[in-house]
Structure 1
Protein backbone atom coordinates (compact mmCIF):
# COMPACT_ATOMS: atom_id res chain seq x y z
CA UNK A 1 0.00 0.00 0.00
CA UNK A 2 1.20 3.54 -0.62
CA UNK A 3 2.55 6.40 1.39
CA UNK A 4 0.33 9.45 0.85
CA UNK A 5 2.16 12.72 0.16
CA UNK A 6 1.41 16.06 -1.54
CA UNK A 7 1.48 15.69 -5.33
CA UNK A 8 4.05 18.50 -5.71
CA UNK A 9 6.54 17.19 -3.12
CA UNK A 10 9.89 16.75 -4.97
CA UNK A 11 10.41 13.33 -3.35
CA UNK A 12 7.39 12.01 -5.28
CA UNK A 13 9.15 12.02 -8.66
CA UNK A 14 12.25 10.33 -7.24
CA UNK A 15 10.28 7.63 -5.45
CA UNK A 16 8.01 6.91 -8.41
CA UNK A 17 11.13 6.52 -10.54
CA UNK A 18 12.28 3.83 -8.09
CA UNK A 19 8.88 2.09 -8.26
CA UNK A 20 8.07 3.06 -4.65
CA UNK A 21 4.28 3.14 -4.22
CA UNK A 22 3.25 6.72 -3.46
CA UNK A 23 -0.22 8.22 -3.73
CA UNK A 24 -1.36 11.82 -3.97
CA UNK A 25 -3.66 13.19 -1.32
CA UNK A 26 -6.47 13.64 -3.86
CA UNK A 27 -6.49 9.98 -4.85
CA UNK A 28 -6.18 8.81 -1.25
CA UNK A 29 -9.27 10.82 -0.31
CA UNK A 30 -11.42 8.56 -2.50
CA UNK A 31 -10.38 5.38 -0.68
CA UNK A 32 -12.39 4.01 2.23
CA UNK A 33 -9.30 3.19 4.31
CA UNK A 34 -8.19 4.55 7.65
CA UNK A 35 -4.52 5.37 6.94
CA UNK A 36 -1.89 5.54 9.64
CA UNK A 37 -1.07 9.17 10.38
CA UNK A 38 2.70 9.59 10.63
CA UNK A 39 4.37 12.89 11.52
CA UNK A 40 8.01 13.64 10.76
CA UNK A 41 9.89 16.31 12.72
CA UNK A 42 12.65 16.92 10.19
CA UNK A 43 15.67 18.52 11.88
CA UNK A 44 18.19 17.69 9.16
CA UNK A 45 19.63 20.62 7.15
CA UNK A 46 19.19 18.77 3.83
CA UNK A 47 15.46 18.43 4.31
CA UNK A 48 14.48 17.32 0.81
CA UNK A 49 17.08 14.53 0.82
CA UNK A 50 15.89 13.37 4.25
CA UNK A 51 12.25 13.43 3.13
CA UNK A 52 13.10 11.13 0.23
CA UNK A 53 15.16 8.77 2.38
CA UNK A 54 12.46 8.37 5.02
CA UNK A 55 9.54 8.13 2.60
CA UNK A 56 11.39 5.43 0.66
CA UNK A 57 11.52 3.26 3.81
CA UNK A 58 8.01 4.10 4.98
CA UNK A 59 6.55 3.26 1.57
CA UNK A 60 7.72 -0.36 1.65
CA UNK A 61 4.91 -1.86 3.77
CA UNK A 62 1.33 -3.06 3.13
CA UNK A 63 0.02 -0.13 5.21
CA UNK A 64 -1.35 3.13 3.85
CA UNK A 65 0.33 6.10 5.50
CA UNK A 66 -0.54 9.79 5.55
CA UNK A 67 2.52 11.94 6.16
CA UNK A 68 2.69 15.29 7.96
CA UNK A 69 5.98 17.20 7.87
CA UNK A 70 6.66 19.38 10.94
CA UNK A 71 9.29 22.08 11.35
CA UNK A 72 10.60 23.99 14.34
CA UNK A 73 9.17 27.51 14.38
CA UNK A 74 12.09 28.61 16.58
CA UNK A 75 14.68 27.78 13.89
CA UNK A 76 15.06 29.10 10.34
CA UNK A 77 16.59 26.47 8.02
CA UNK A 78 19.45 27.80 5.89
CA UNK A 79 19.78 24.94 3.39
CA UNK A 80 16.18 24.56 2.23
CA UNK A 81 14.21 27.13 0.27
CA UNK A 82 11.55 28.94 2.28
CA UNK A 83 9.06 28.23 -0.51
CA UNK A 84 9.53 24.49 0.08
CA UNK A 85 9.05 24.89 3.83
CA UNK A 86 5.92 27.01 3.35
CA UNK A 87 4.43 24.56 0.84
CA UNK A 88 5.01 21.26 2.62
CA UNK A 89 5.65 21.86 6.34
CA UNK A 90 3.54 22.98 9.26
CA UNK A 91 4.77 24.28 12.59
CA UNK A 92 4.37 22.35 15.80
CA UNK A 93 1.78 24.89 16.97
CA UNK A 94 -0.31 23.94 13.94
CA UNK A 95 0.00 20.24 14.83
CA UNK A 96 -0.28 20.28 18.62
CA UNK A 97 -4.06 19.68 18.74
CA UNK A 98 -3.79 16.61 16.51
CA UNK A 99 -2.95 13.03 17.40
CA UNK A 100 -0.76 10.71 15.33
CA UNK A 101 -0.24 6.98 15.11
CA UNK A 102 3.50 7.45 14.70
CA UNK A 103 6.17 10.14 14.88
CA UNK A 104 9.74 10.23 13.57
CA UNK A 105 12.22 12.71 15.09
CA UNK A 106 15.25 12.91 12.80
CA UNK A 107 18.87 13.52 13.55
CA UNK A 108 20.68 16.84 13.23
CA UNK A 109 24.41 17.63 12.78
CA UNK A 110 24.66 19.41 16.14
CA UNK A 111 25.59 16.61 18.52
CA UNK A 112 28.76 18.36 19.75
CA UNK A 113 26.59 21.14 21.24
CA UNK A 114 25.10 20.73 24.71
CA UNK A 115 21.38 20.04 24.30
CA UNK A 116 20.46 23.29 26.03
CA UNK A 117 22.64 25.29 23.59
CA UNK A 118 20.53 24.25 20.58
CA UNK A 119 18.34 27.19 19.59
CA UNK A 120 15.18 25.09 19.23
CA UNK A 121 15.78 22.88 22.29
CA UNK A 122 12.89 24.34 24.37
CA UNK A 123 10.48 23.81 21.46
CA UNK A 124 11.75 20.28 20.84
CA UNK A 125 11.28 19.44 24.54
CA UNK A 126 7.68 20.58 24.20
CA UNK A 127 7.30 18.29 21.17
CA UNK A 128 8.78 15.34 23.07
CA UNK A 129 6.44 15.93 26.02
CA UNK A 130 3.49 16.31 23.65
CA UNK A 131 4.38 13.04 21.91
CA UNK A 132 3.78 11.07 25.11
CA UNK A 133 0.02 11.55 24.95
CA UNK A 134 -0.54 12.57 21.32
CA UNK A 135 1.46 9.84 19.53
CA UNK A 136 1.17 6.09 19.86
CA UNK A 137 4.81 5.27 19.00
CA UNK A 138 7.81 7.51 18.30
CA UNK A 139 11.01 6.63 16.44
CA UNK A 140 13.99 8.82 17.37
CA UNK A 141 16.94 8.78 14.93
CA UNK A 142 20.63 9.58 15.61
CA UNK A 143 20.78 12.97 17.42
CA UNK A 144 17.01 12.69 17.81
CA UNK A 145 17.64 9.45 19.73
CA UNK A 146 20.18 11.15 21.97
CA UNK A 147 17.79 14.04 22.54
CA UNK A 148 14.91 11.71 23.42
CA UNK A 149 16.99 9.59 25.79
CA UNK A 150 18.29 12.73 27.52
CA UNK A 151 14.92 14.43 27.81
CA UNK A 152 12.84 11.40 28.83
CA UNK A 153 15.41 9.52 30.91
CA UNK A 154 18.27 11.89 31.72
CA UNK A 155 20.77 9.74 29.76
CA UNK A 156 23.79 11.82 28.75
CA UNK A 157 25.78 11.76 25.51
CA UNK A 158 29.59 11.72 25.56
CA UNK A 159 32.15 13.05 23.06
CA UNK A 160 34.18 10.55 21.05
CA UNK A 161 37.91 10.83 20.50
CA UNK A 162 37.27 10.18 16.79
CA UNK A 163 34.16 10.51 14.67
CA UNK A 164 32.11 7.31 14.42
CA UNK A 165 31.87 7.17 10.66
CA UNK A 166 31.10 4.21 8.43
CA UNK A 167 28.99 1.08 8.14
CA UNK A 168 29.38 -1.23 11.12
CA UNK A 169 28.26 -4.77 12.02
CA UNK A 170 25.72 -4.98 14.87
CA UNK A 171 24.65 -7.84 17.09
CA UNK A 172 21.02 -8.57 17.95
CA UNK A 173 20.59 -8.84 21.73
CA UNK A 174 16.92 -9.81 21.96
CA UNK A 175 15.75 -11.74 18.88
CA UNK A 176 12.30 -12.15 20.47
CA UNK A 177 11.65 -8.40 20.36
CA UNK A 178 9.22 -7.68 17.51
CA UNK A 179 11.25 -4.70 16.29
CA UNK A 180 14.00 -7.17 15.39
CA UNK A 181 11.73 -9.75 13.81
CA UNK A 182 13.44 -11.25 10.76
CA UNK A 183 16.84 -9.67 11.51
CA UNK A 184 20.03 -11.62 11.02
CA UNK A 185 22.06 -12.17 14.18
CA UNK A 186 24.66 -9.78 12.75
CA UNK A 187 23.54 -6.92 10.51
CA UNK A 188 25.14 -3.73 9.10
CA UNK A 189 24.05 -0.12 9.60
CA UNK A 190 25.63 3.32 8.94
CA UNK A 191 26.76 5.75 11.64
CA UNK A 192 27.95 9.34 11.38
CA UNK A 193 28.37 11.07 14.73
CA UNK A 194 30.88 12.67 17.12
CA UNK A 195 29.22 11.55 20.37
CA UNK A 196 27.92 8.34 21.89
CA UNK A 197 25.25 7.02 24.22
CA UNK A 198 26.63 4.33 26.51
CA UNK A 199 25.12 0.87 26.75
CA UNK A 200 25.58 0.72 30.53
CA UNK A 201 23.40 3.82 30.98
CA UNK A 202 20.57 2.29 28.96
CA UNK A 203 20.84 -1.05 30.74
CA UNK A 204 20.67 0.69 34.11
CA UNK A 205 17.51 2.63 33.20
CA UNK A 206 14.14 1.21 34.19
CA UNK A 207 11.68 0.99 31.31
CA UNK A 208 14.35 0.76 28.59
CA UNK A 209 15.72 -2.29 26.77
CA UNK A 210 18.96 -2.43 24.79
CA UNK A 211 18.22 -4.28 21.53
CA UNK A 212 21.30 -4.10 19.28
CA UNK A 213 24.94 -3.07 19.70
CA UNK A 214 28.18 -2.98 17.73
CA UNK A 215 31.63 -3.89 19.03
CA UNK A 216 33.00 -0.88 17.13
CA UNK A 217 30.12 1.60 17.06
CA UNK A 218 28.44 0.88 20.42
CA UNK A 219 24.72 1.30 20.97
CA UNK A 220 22.52 1.10 17.89
CA UNK A 221 18.98 0.27 19.00
CA UNK A 222 17.02 0.66 22.24
CA UNK A 223 13.32 0.81 23.03
CA UNK A 224 10.93 1.43 25.86
CA UNK A 225 9.56 -1.85 27.17
CA UNK A 226 6.05 -0.95 25.96
CA UNK A 227 7.31 -0.34 22.40
CA UNK A 228 6.04 3.22 22.28
CA UNK A 229 9.51 4.77 22.04
CA UNK A 230 12.26 3.51 19.74
CA UNK A 231 15.79 4.92 19.72
CA UNK A 232 18.06 4.40 16.68
CA UNK A 233 21.54 5.93 17.08
CA UNK A 234 22.62 5.35 13.46
CA UNK A 235 21.26 6.30 10.06
CA UNK A 236 19.57 3.28 8.43
CA UNK A 237 17.85 5.67 6.00
CA UNK A 238 21.12 6.75 4.37
CA UNK A 239 21.52 6.24 0.63
CA UNK A 240 24.48 4.68 -1.18
CA UNK A 241 26.41 7.95 -1.51
CA UNK A 242 25.38 9.80 1.68
CA UNK A 243 28.56 8.97 3.60
CA UNK A 244 30.64 9.57 0.45
CA UNK A 245 29.17 13.05 0.00
CA UNK A 246 29.89 13.83 3.64
CA UNK A 247 33.46 12.58 3.34
CA UNK A 248 34.06 14.46 0.06
CA UNK A 249 32.63 17.63 1.62
CA UNK A 250 35.01 17.43 4.58
CA UNK A 251 38.01 16.77 2.29
CA UNK A 252 37.08 19.76 0.12
CA UNK A 253 37.03 21.93 3.25
CA UNK A 254 40.57 20.88 4.11
CA UNK A 255 39.50 18.91 7.16
CA UNK A 256 41.44 15.91 8.43
CA UNK A 257 38.57 13.61 7.52
CA UNK A 258 38.61 9.91 8.40
CA UNK A 259 37.67 7.49 5.61
CA UNK A 260 34.30 5.92 6.54
CA UNK A 261 35.00 2.38 7.73
CA UNK A 262 33.62 -0.76 6.06
CA UNK A 263 31.97 1.41 3.40
CA UNK A 264 34.28 1.46 0.38
CA UNK A 265 35.65 -1.86 -0.92
CA UNK A 266 38.96 -2.31 0.91
CA UNK A 267 38.32 1.03 2.64
CA UNK A 268 39.58 2.64 -0.58
CA UNK A 269 37.69 5.91 -1.28
CA UNK A 270 38.63 5.72 -4.96
CA UNK A 271 36.26 2.74 -5.26
CA UNK A 272 32.46 3.15 -5.51
CA UNK A 273 30.76 2.40 -2.17
CA UNK A 274 28.60 -0.68 -1.79
CA UNK A 275 25.14 -0.73 -0.16
CA UNK A 276 25.00 -3.48 2.48
CA UNK A 277 22.42 -2.14 4.94
CA UNK A 278 19.33 -1.50 2.81
CA UNK A 279 17.36 -4.69 3.58
CA UNK A 280 17.68 -4.26 7.34
CA UNK A 281 16.73 -0.59 7.04
CA UNK A 282 13.49 -1.54 5.28
CA UNK A 283 12.87 -4.28 7.85
CA UNK A 284 13.39 -1.96 10.82
CA UNK A 285 10.86 0.57 9.54
CA UNK A 286 8.37 -2.13 8.52
CA UNK A 287 8.62 -3.77 11.95
CA UNK A 288 8.18 -0.44 13.72
CA UNK A 289 5.11 0.41 11.65
CA UNK A 290 3.58 -3.03 12.04
CA UNK A 291 4.36 -4.07 15.60
CA UNK A 292 4.85 -0.75 17.42
CA UNK A 293 2.24 1.32 15.57
CA UNK A 294 -0.39 -0.60 13.58
CA UNK A 295 -0.90 -3.52 15.94
CA UNK A 296 -1.53 -1.28 18.95
CA UNK A 297 -2.81 2.11 17.86
CA UNK A 298 -6.58 2.63 18.31
CA UNK A 299 -8.80 3.02 15.25
CA UNK A 300 -10.05 6.29 16.75
CA UNK A 301 -7.01 8.54 16.91
CA UNK A 302 -8.65 10.54 19.67
CA UNK A 303 -8.42 7.48 21.90
CA UNK A 304 -4.62 7.52 21.98
CA UNK A 305 -3.69 7.75 25.65
CA UNK A 306 -0.58 8.85 27.52
CA UNK A 307 2.56 6.77 27.59
CA UNK A 308 3.58 5.52 31.01
CA UNK A 309 7.30 5.94 30.34
CA UNK A 310 8.77 7.89 33.29
CA UNK A 311 10.55 11.15 32.59
CA UNK A 312 13.97 11.96 33.97
CA UNK A 313 12.61 14.03 36.85
CA UNK A 314 10.02 11.47 37.96
CA UNK A 315 10.64 8.87 40.64
Structure 2
Protein backbone atom coordinates (compact mmCIF):
# COMPACT_ATOMS: atom_id res chain seq x y z
CA UNK A 1 0.00 0.00 0.00
CA UNK A 2 1.19 3.55 -0.67
CA UNK A 3 1.97 6.55 1.46
CA UNK A 4 -0.34 9.52 1.03
CA UNK A 5 1.42 12.87 0.90
CA UNK A 6 0.19 16.37 0.00
CA UNK A 7 -0.73 16.87 -3.66
CA UNK A 8 2.22 18.12 -5.76
CA UNK A 9 4.80 17.72 -2.97
CA UNK A 10 8.20 17.79 -4.75
CA UNK A 11 9.37 14.73 -2.79
CA UNK A 12 6.83 12.64 -4.73
CA UNK A 13 9.00 12.52 -7.84
CA UNK A 14 12.02 11.27 -5.90
CA UNK A 15 9.97 8.65 -4.08
CA UNK A 16 8.32 7.37 -7.26
CA UNK A 17 11.74 7.09 -8.96
CA UNK A 18 12.90 4.93 -6.05
CA UNK A 19 9.88 2.65 -6.36
CA UNK A 20 7.99 3.94 -3.31
CA UNK A 21 4.24 3.81 -3.91
CA UNK A 22 2.80 7.30 -3.59
CA UNK A 23 -0.88 8.27 -3.54
CA UNK A 24 -2.16 11.82 -3.72
CA UNK A 25 -4.87 13.09 -1.43
CA UNK A 26 -7.55 13.06 -4.12
CA UNK A 27 -7.13 9.37 -4.92
CA UNK A 28 -6.82 8.32 -1.28
CA UNK A 29 -10.10 10.04 -0.42
CA UNK A 30 -11.93 7.51 -2.63
CA UNK A 31 -10.65 4.48 -0.69
CA UNK A 32 -12.76 2.96 2.09
CA UNK A 33 -9.96 2.28 4.54
CA UNK A 34 -8.66 3.59 7.87
CA UNK A 35 -5.13 4.75 7.00
CA UNK A 36 -2.62 5.32 9.79
CA UNK A 37 -2.15 8.98 10.61
CA UNK A 38 1.57 9.84 10.91
CA UNK A 39 2.74 13.38 11.64
CA UNK A 40 6.25 14.71 10.95
CA UNK A 41 7.35 17.77 12.90
CA UNK A 42 10.18 18.91 10.64
CA UNK A 43 12.68 21.11 12.49
CA UNK A 44 15.48 20.81 9.94
CA UNK A 45 16.47 23.78 7.71
CA UNK A 46 16.32 21.77 4.47
CA UNK A 47 12.66 20.79 4.74
CA UNK A 48 12.41 19.05 1.36
CA UNK A 49 15.40 16.77 1.91
CA UNK A 50 14.28 15.77 5.40
CA UNK A 51 10.68 15.10 4.44
CA UNK A 52 11.90 12.91 1.55
CA UNK A 53 14.16 10.91 3.86
CA UNK A 54 11.35 10.09 6.27
CA UNK A 55 8.70 9.60 3.59
CA UNK A 56 10.76 6.92 1.84
CA UNK A 57 10.98 4.96 5.10
CA UNK A 58 7.37 5.45 6.11
CA UNK A 59 6.25 4.58 2.58
CA UNK A 60 8.02 1.21 2.58
CA UNK A 61 5.30 -0.39 4.71
CA UNK A 62 2.45 -2.42 3.14
CA UNK A 63 -0.04 -0.29 5.09
CA UNK A 64 -1.65 2.92 3.87
CA UNK A 65 -0.22 5.96 5.61
CA UNK A 66 -1.44 9.54 5.66
CA UNK A 67 1.60 11.71 6.37
CA UNK A 68 1.01 15.22 7.69
CA UNK A 69 3.93 17.66 7.54
CA UNK A 70 4.03 19.92 10.59
CA UNK A 71 6.11 22.98 11.45
CA UNK A 72 6.61 25.23 14.44
CA UNK A 73 3.91 27.89 14.41
CA UNK A 74 5.83 31.15 14.74
CA UNK A 75 9.33 30.19 13.60
CA UNK A 76 10.49 31.76 10.35
CA UNK A 77 12.56 29.43 8.20
CA UNK A 78 15.71 30.86 6.60
CA UNK A 79 16.12 28.04 4.07
CA UNK A 80 12.56 27.24 2.97
CA UNK A 81 10.17 29.74 1.45
CA UNK A 82 7.03 30.70 3.30
CA UNK A 83 5.04 29.83 0.17
CA UNK A 84 6.38 26.26 0.25
CA UNK A 85 5.59 25.94 3.94
CA UNK A 86 2.06 27.29 3.54
CA UNK A 87 1.44 24.94 0.61
CA UNK A 88 2.67 21.69 2.14
CA UNK A 89 2.87 22.19 5.90
CA UNK A 90 0.44 22.68 8.75
CA UNK A 91 1.47 24.62 11.82
CA UNK A 92 1.24 22.86 15.16
CA UNK A 93 -1.57 25.24 16.10
CA UNK A 94 -3.51 23.86 13.13
CA UNK A 95 -3.06 20.20 14.08
CA UNK A 96 -3.05 20.25 17.89
CA UNK A 97 -6.72 19.27 18.09
CA UNK A 98 -6.06 16.17 15.99
CA UNK A 99 -5.05 12.66 17.03
CA UNK A 100 -2.16 10.77 15.42
CA UNK A 101 -1.25 7.10 15.41
CA UNK A 102 2.41 8.03 15.09
CA UNK A 103 4.37 11.26 15.31
CA UNK A 104 8.03 11.98 14.49
CA UNK A 105 10.00 14.93 15.84
CA UNK A 106 13.19 15.53 13.85
CA UNK A 107 16.53 16.91 14.89
CA UNK A 108 17.52 20.57 14.57
CA UNK A 109 20.96 22.22 14.10
CA UNK A 110 20.84 24.01 17.45
CA UNK A 111 22.82 21.62 19.68
CA UNK A 112 25.02 24.48 20.89
CA UNK A 113 22.07 26.37 22.39
CA UNK A 114 20.74 25.55 25.88
CA UNK A 115 17.23 24.15 25.57
CA UNK A 116 15.59 27.01 27.44
CA UNK A 117 17.22 29.56 25.11
CA UNK A 118 15.84 28.04 21.90
CA UNK A 119 13.42 30.57 20.42
CA UNK A 120 10.58 28.08 20.06
CA UNK A 121 11.23 26.16 23.31
CA UNK A 122 7.89 27.13 24.87
CA UNK A 123 6.06 25.66 21.88
CA UNK A 124 8.27 22.56 21.99
CA UNK A 125 7.23 22.04 25.61
CA UNK A 126 3.58 22.21 24.59
CA UNK A 127 4.16 19.80 21.70
CA UNK A 128 6.03 17.26 23.83
CA UNK A 129 3.29 17.30 26.47
CA UNK A 130 0.65 17.13 23.71
CA UNK A 131 2.14 13.89 22.34
CA UNK A 132 1.28 12.12 25.59
CA UNK A 133 -2.44 12.78 25.09
CA UNK A 134 -2.82 12.86 21.32
CA UNK A 135 -0.29 10.42 19.83
CA UNK A 136 -0.24 6.65 20.13
CA UNK A 137 3.52 6.33 19.59
CA UNK A 138 6.13 9.05 19.13
CA UNK A 139 9.66 8.85 17.75
CA UNK A 140 12.03 11.66 18.72
CA UNK A 141 15.19 12.02 16.56
CA UNK A 142 18.60 13.56 17.43
CA UNK A 143 18.02 17.04 18.96
CA UNK A 144 14.34 16.17 19.27
CA UNK A 145 15.34 13.11 21.32
CA UNK A 146 17.71 15.12 23.51
CA UNK A 147 14.99 17.71 24.11
CA UNK A 148 12.38 15.10 25.03
CA UNK A 149 14.78 13.22 27.32
CA UNK A 150 15.62 16.51 29.03
CA UNK A 151 11.96 17.45 29.42
CA UNK A 152 10.45 14.11 30.41
CA UNK A 153 13.33 12.52 32.31
CA UNK A 154 15.73 15.34 33.28
CA UNK A 155 18.45 13.49 31.38
CA UNK A 156 21.66 15.53 31.26
CA UNK A 157 23.57 16.13 28.05
CA UNK A 158 27.17 17.26 27.66
CA UNK A 159 29.51 18.47 24.92
CA UNK A 160 31.83 15.72 23.71
CA UNK A 161 35.55 16.45 23.22
CA UNK A 162 35.04 16.15 19.47
CA UNK A 163 32.14 15.69 17.12
CA UNK A 164 30.90 12.13 16.56
CA UNK A 165 30.80 12.12 12.77
CA UNK A 166 30.51 9.15 10.44
CA UNK A 167 28.96 5.70 10.24
CA UNK A 168 29.67 3.61 13.33
CA UNK A 169 29.02 0.03 14.33
CA UNK A 170 26.59 -0.29 17.24
CA UNK A 171 25.30 -3.13 19.40
CA UNK A 172 21.80 -4.14 20.39
CA UNK A 173 21.09 -3.94 24.11
CA UNK A 174 18.27 -4.89 26.45
CA UNK A 175 15.61 -7.54 26.04
CA UNK A 176 14.18 -8.56 22.65
CA UNK A 177 11.61 -6.02 21.49
CA UNK A 178 9.35 -5.47 18.48
CA UNK A 179 11.13 -2.32 17.24
CA UNK A 180 14.44 -4.06 16.50
CA UNK A 181 13.01 -7.24 15.06
CA UNK A 182 15.23 -8.49 12.20
CA UNK A 183 18.03 -5.96 12.81
CA UNK A 184 21.53 -7.46 12.99
CA UNK A 185 23.47 -7.62 16.25
CA UNK A 186 25.90 -4.89 15.15
CA UNK A 187 24.20 -2.43 12.79
CA UNK A 188 26.09 0.41 11.11
CA UNK A 189 24.37 3.73 11.88
CA UNK A 190 25.10 7.31 10.71
CA UNK A 191 26.04 9.75 13.47
CA UNK A 192 26.46 13.52 13.40
CA UNK A 193 26.38 15.23 16.78
CA UNK A 194 28.47 17.15 19.27
CA UNK A 195 26.47 16.17 22.34
CA UNK A 196 25.94 12.98 24.28
CA UNK A 197 23.82 12.14 27.32
CA UNK A 198 25.24 11.23 30.69
CA UNK A 199 24.61 7.56 31.38
CA UNK A 200 24.34 8.24 35.10
CA UNK A 201 21.31 10.47 34.41
CA UNK A 202 19.37 7.79 32.49
CA UNK A 203 16.37 7.01 34.68
CA UNK A 204 14.90 3.60 35.40
CA UNK A 205 11.96 4.56 33.19
CA UNK A 206 14.25 4.30 30.16
CA UNK A 207 15.71 1.23 28.46
CA UNK A 208 18.71 1.42 26.12
CA UNK A 209 17.96 -0.45 22.89
CA UNK A 210 21.01 0.41 20.73
CA UNK A 211 24.38 1.43 22.14
CA UNK A 212 27.98 2.27 21.30
CA UNK A 213 30.70 2.34 23.97
CA UNK A 214 32.78 4.87 22.02
CA UNK A 215 30.27 7.53 20.99
CA UNK A 216 27.39 6.92 23.37
CA UNK A 217 23.81 5.78 23.52
CA UNK A 218 22.00 5.55 20.20
CA UNK A 219 18.39 4.62 20.96
CA UNK A 220 16.19 4.27 24.04
CA UNK A 221 12.59 3.41 24.70
CA UNK A 222 10.37 5.02 27.29
CA UNK A 223 8.80 2.47 29.63
CA UNK A 224 6.16 4.97 30.77
CA UNK A 225 5.29 6.86 27.60
CA UNK A 226 4.77 5.40 24.15
CA UNK A 227 8.01 6.92 22.85
CA UNK A 228 11.33 6.02 21.27
CA UNK A 229 14.39 8.27 21.40
CA UNK A 230 16.82 7.89 18.47
CA UNK A 231 19.92 10.04 18.95
CA UNK A 232 21.44 9.21 15.56
CA UNK A 233 20.29 9.21 11.94
CA UNK A 234 19.16 6.00 10.26
CA UNK A 235 16.97 8.18 8.03
CA UNK A 236 20.01 9.77 6.33
CA UNK A 237 20.49 9.20 2.60
CA UNK A 238 23.77 8.29 0.88
CA UNK A 239 25.17 11.81 0.76
CA UNK A 240 23.91 13.35 4.00
CA UNK A 241 27.23 13.06 5.85
CA UNK A 242 29.30 13.72 2.73
CA UNK A 243 27.40 16.92 1.98
CA UNK A 244 27.83 18.05 5.58
CA UNK A 245 31.58 17.44 5.26
CA UNK A 246 31.77 19.34 1.95
CA UNK A 247 29.82 22.24 3.45
CA UNK A 248 32.22 22.54 6.37
CA UNK A 249 35.25 22.29 4.08
CA UNK A 250 33.93 25.16 1.95
CA UNK A 251 33.28 27.18 5.12
CA UNK A 252 36.95 26.80 6.08
CA UNK A 253 36.20 24.82 9.26
CA UNK A 254 38.84 22.17 8.49
CA UNK A 255 36.55 19.28 9.55
CA UNK A 256 37.68 15.72 10.11
CA UNK A 257 36.55 13.33 7.40
CA UNK A 258 33.46 11.36 8.47
CA UNK A 259 34.39 7.84 9.54
CA UNK A 260 33.45 4.89 7.31
CA UNK A 261 31.69 7.02 4.70
CA UNK A 262 33.98 7.37 1.66
CA UNK A 263 35.38 4.21 0.04
CA UNK A 264 39.13 3.90 0.84
CA UNK A 265 38.99 7.29 2.55
CA UNK A 266 38.66 9.05 -0.83
CA UNK A 267 36.41 12.08 -0.35
CA UNK A 268 35.91 12.36 -4.12
CA UNK A 269 34.34 8.89 -4.28
CA UNK A 270 30.60 8.30 -3.92
CA UNK A 271 29.69 7.26 -0.35
CA UNK A 272 28.48 3.73 0.31
CA UNK A 273 25.16 3.22 2.12
CA UNK A 274 25.68 0.61 4.86
CA UNK A 275 22.55 1.31 6.88
CA UNK A 276 19.64 1.39 4.42
CA UNK A 277 18.23 -2.04 5.33
CA UNK A 278 18.31 -1.28 9.05
CA UNK A 279 16.56 2.04 8.48
CA UNK A 280 13.73 0.33 6.63
CA UNK A 281 13.48 -2.40 9.25
CA UNK A 282 13.27 0.06 12.13
CA UNK A 283 10.49 2.11 10.55
CA UNK A 284 8.57 -0.94 9.33
CA UNK A 285 8.74 -2.39 12.84
CA UNK A 286 7.65 0.92 14.38
CA UNK A 287 4.69 1.27 12.04
CA UNK A 288 3.73 -2.39 12.47
CA UNK A 289 3.74 -1.96 16.26
CA UNK A 290 1.52 1.11 15.86
CA UNK A 291 -0.85 -0.77 13.55
CA UNK A 292 -1.12 -3.71 15.93
CA UNK A 293 -1.92 -1.60 18.99
CA UNK A 294 -3.55 1.68 17.98
CA UNK A 295 -7.33 2.04 18.48
CA UNK A 296 -9.41 1.67 15.33
CA UNK A 297 -11.38 4.75 16.37
CA UNK A 298 -8.63 7.34 16.25
CA UNK A 299 -10.41 9.66 18.66
CA UNK A 300 -9.62 7.06 21.36
CA UNK A 301 -5.87 7.59 20.94
CA UNK A 302 -4.46 8.73 24.26
CA UNK A 303 -7.31 7.17 26.22
CA UNK A 304 -6.52 3.47 25.65
CA UNK A 305 -3.74 1.86 27.67
CA UNK A 306 -1.12 -0.03 25.70
CA UNK A 307 1.53 -2.38 27.04
CA UNK A 308 4.55 -2.82 24.69
Q: Could you state the TM-score of these two structures normalised by the residue count of structure 1?
A: 0.94
Q: Which moved more, 1:259-268 or 1:21-30?
A: 259-268
The residue number in structure 2 matching 1:186 is 186
Q: Is the 8 A contact 2:72 2:92 kept in 1?
A: yes
The residue number in structure 1 matching 2:24 is 24
Structure 1: runs of 5+ lacking an equivalent: 310-315
Matched, 1:285 2:273: no
Matched, 1:111 2:108: no
Q: Distance in 2 between matches of 1:100 and 1:62?
A: 19
Matched, 1:231 2:229: yes
Note closer, same or farther for the CA distance 1:270–1:175 as it changes in structure 2 (3 Å cut).
farther
Q: Deviations over 1:5-63 (max 9, x none)?
A: 11210000110111111111111111111000011100000000001000000000111
Matches within 5 A, 1:1-315: 1-174=1-174, 176-202=176-202, 205-225=203-223, 228-291=226-289, 293-305=290-302
Cα root mean square deviation, aligned: 1.5
- TM-superposed CA distance for 1:3, in Å, is 0.6
Structure 2: runs of 5+ lacking an equivalent: none
Provide the secondary structure at the position in 2 that maps to 1:186: coil
The residue number in structure 2 matching 1:312 is none
Provide the secondary structure at the position in 1 that maps to 2:193: strand
Give the paired residue count.
306
Q: Distance in 2 between matches of 1:306 and 1:199?
A: 32
Q: Distance in 2 between matches of 1:289 and 1:200?
A: 31
Q: Deviations over 1:173-198 (max 9, x none)?
A: 13511111101110011011111123
- TM-superposed CA distance for 1:214, in Å, is 1.3
Q: Distance in 2 between matches of 1:277 and 1:178?
A: 19
Provide the secondary structure at the position in 1 that maps to 2:269: coil
- TM-superposed CA distance for 1:226, in Å, is 5.6
Q: Is the 8 A contact 2:154 2:201 kept in 1?
A: no
Note closer, same or farther for the CA distance 1:306–1:43 as it changes in structure 2 (3 Å cut).
farther
Q: Could you state the TM-score of these two structures normalised by the residue count of structure 2?
A: 0.96
Q: Is the 8 A contact 2:137 2:226 kept in 1?
A: yes
